[in-house]
Structure 1
Amino acid sequence: MGFEPKVLIVLGSDSDLPVMATACSTLEEFGVDYSLRILSAHRVPQEVAAVAGDAKNHYQVIIAAAGMAAHLPGVIAAYTTLPVIGVPLQSKVLDGQDALYSIVQMPPGVPVATVGIGAAKNAALLALQILATGHEDLSKALQQYKQTMAETVLVKDSRLQTMGYKAYLAERGEQK
């Protein structure tokens, strides 16, 4: 490949950072480098085009997050052949549905993979899975991650079966 796997994360606004910090910490957990940028598709479109056009020289996957009109992921995808993962973000007006529809409904020839509203962790995990196709160590780490998740669910199931739902909820502080 020529260089270590690296992800570009682009935010439409600095207000997106609290949600997208989860993507950063997930990539860090797996030891994958990333760059983080704030670039608005509407306020600095030339810079978005330049960064997206040059991305193939530095990255293998791009995660782009935006709310409301959420054009950022699609604009980036128009200027690169790299996989682009769009993260629709919640807004005050339509609760993120506007961003979701904007990102998921791309025209033919300009694909953007889309995760759920505010699903920064899933965006990072999808980026890791894409990168893992060419990196066996990363693939093994993801397999272990999924195994750990499965074991956690099975432990919870066992406790529920043993305790019953009332005691289980009480233990969690969720009386019913």
Structure 2
Amino acid sequence: MNKVPMTVAGEKRLRKELEELKGEARPRVIAAIAEAREHGDLKENAEYHAAREQQGFIEGRIQEIEGKLSNAQVIDVKKLPQTGKVIFGVTVGLINLETDEEVTYRIVGEDEADIKAGRISVTSPIARALIGKEEGDVVVVRTPGGEVEYEISSVEHL
């Protein structure tokens, strides 16, 4: 099984979600199923079927999170040597050379990626183009809309 890189914060988020699912959501849906059973005929009981569907979703998500955590290689960027190069877990400031627009991204694992929150997957085209580069380097990123040139304005090991 291949290990999947994940930040410490990403692992904490998954463990918190798993704890909530097992400790709160699962018991709540089990109670809802028990209550719906008391109402009688299960064939026409919409509450029962909705609760069973919710239970299936919760159990599936628990298995998915446990699988991700078992395959995770948690990387603490703070403990890595600060070389000034773009590596997994760093926060990178970029300047689009065409538009002078500045953006900041943190390079994270696939499950942690959220472009609106400024987190991009290590497997994304931008991250793949940035890995190994340093502050001041110009990087060409191939996007569906064509090639875009960025200058790396900062590399932070947060």
- TM category (shorter chain) comes to under 0.3
TM-score normalised over the length of structure 1: 0.22
Higher helix share: 1
Bigger RCO of structures 1 and 2 (CA < 8 A, at least 6 apart): 2
Indicate the structure (1 or 2) with the bigger Cα radius of gyration.
2
